[in-house]
């Protein structure tokens, strides 16, 4: 659908015409064209091609200036790619954890406690070396779909928030910190499983400890990301309100990861405690998958609503 926006101004015998043509694309939601004194603007929430133009007038100047700004916004296809990224990140991370925690796949978790001796951990890594390497590789690869998910999420929140996008940028920084933490603990795991039979058990034990304790910055990054999501969604919209409320709850759960830096046994044990591992990590993966499904459904509904819609072209 071809859209044409025209803006004209007459003054001092001069006539200025600014024309912008843009190819519109499927979108989640569309707001009606808004005309205000001193300018005109067209705004789409999350989705199709967007053009906005604003006339800026300076009282002290003999001539008014016409400023046209164009912002490109994601299509339904791009939104679906981001949604798939969130789902894939959750599923890949779940499989990676299963490979790390279990002697074989699929199997019930069976691994030493953090308080176990270095020799016990080293022997465990020697026995299951290849499976632990695969787990580390999958965790590292999970960062790729998460990049697309964060891009889609940032675009959606940025458009809903408007203005300077303060909270949207905080969300993005928190997401990047989460990704960096994933990279760090996957690297520590790969090093621990690289040659466990050829190095001192103390080295393997230390690398495994780094792998476990990296959950602390991971939780901080994820908590920052979800807090910013909750603020934008509950205050400005852009996504269903249940996403903002769920983000608050899951963000609080991430505080359990902090126990990894204080204890190596009990419920806050980072390698197997309920509050130190299962609750925060499982809730975060479920949240990623649920977010991906919600965004994909929104994109699908928006795409269907565009089918059969007549072109909206301004007359020349």
Going by C-alpha positions, the residue among 284, 146, 264 that lies closest to residue 219 is 284
Going by C-alpha positions, the residue among 223, 256, 240 that lies closest to residue 291 is 240
- Tens of pLDDT, residue by residue over 230-286, are 999 999 988 889 999 999 999 999 998 988 888 777 788 877 788 888 899 999 999
pLDDT of residue 74: 67
Going by C-alpha positions, the residue among 72, 228, 216, 212 that lies closest to residue 150 is 228
Name the helix (H) or strand (E) containing 66: strand 65-69
Residue 173 scores a pLDDT above 90 = yes
* Domain residue spans of the chain: 2-73, 76-303
C-alpha dihedral (256, 261, 263, 269), degrees to nearest 10: 50
Higher pLDDT, 308 or 202: 202
DSSP assignment of 196-236 equals TTTS-HHHHHHHHHHHHHTHHHHHHHHHHHHHHHHHHHHHH
**What is the Cα 203 distance to its own chain's centre?**
34
Record the pTM. Answer: 0.71
Beta bridge partners of 30: 44
Residues 6+ away with beta carbon under 8 Å from 161: 167, 168, 232, 236, 238
CA 121-140-284 angle, to 5 degrees, is: 85
CA distances from 8 to 11, 19, 20, 312 (A): 10, 9, 12, 20
Residues 6+ away with beta carbon under 8 Å from 97: 135, 281
């Amino acid at each position: 659908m071809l859209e044409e926006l025209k803006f004209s101004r007459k003054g001092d015998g001069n006539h200025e015409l600014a024309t912008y043509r843009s190819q519109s694309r499927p979108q989640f939601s569309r707001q009606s064209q808004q005309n205000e004194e001193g300018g005109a603007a067209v705004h789409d929430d999350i989705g199709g091609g967007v053009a906005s133009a604003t006339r800026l007038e300076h009282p002290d100047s003999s001539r008014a200036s016409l400023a046209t700004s164009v912002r490109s916004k994601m299509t339904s296809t791009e939104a679906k790619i981001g949604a798939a990224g969130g789902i894939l990140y959750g599923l890949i991370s779940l499989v990676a954890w299963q490979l790390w925690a279990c002697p074989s796949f699929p199997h019930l978790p069976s691994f030493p406690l953090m308080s176990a001796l270095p020799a016990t951990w080293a022997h465990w890594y020697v026995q299951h070396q290849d499976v632990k390497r695969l787990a580390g590789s999958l965790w590292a690869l999970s960062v790729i779909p998460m990049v697309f998910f964060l891009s889609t999420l940032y675009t959606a929140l940025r458009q809903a928030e408007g203005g300077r996008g303060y909270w949207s940028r905080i969300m993005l920084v928190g997401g990047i910190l989460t990704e960096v933490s994933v990279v760090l603990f996957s690297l520590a795991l790969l090093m621990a499983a690289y040659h466990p039979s050829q190095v001192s058990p103390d080295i393997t034990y230390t690398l495994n400890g780094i792998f476990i304790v990296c959950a602390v910055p991971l939780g901080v990054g994820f908590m920052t990301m979800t807090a910013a999501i909750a603020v934008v969604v509950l205050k400005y919209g852009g996504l269903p309100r249940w996403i903002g409320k769920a983000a608050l709850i899951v963000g609080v759960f991430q505080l359990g990861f902090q126990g990894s830096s204080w204890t190596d046994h009990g419920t806050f044990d980072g390698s197997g405690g309920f509050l130190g591992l299962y609750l925060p990590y499982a809730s975060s993966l479920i949240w990623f998958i649920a977010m991906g499904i919600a965004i994909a459904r929104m994109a699908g509904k928006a795409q269907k609503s565009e089918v059969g819609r007549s072109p909206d072209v301004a007359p020349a």
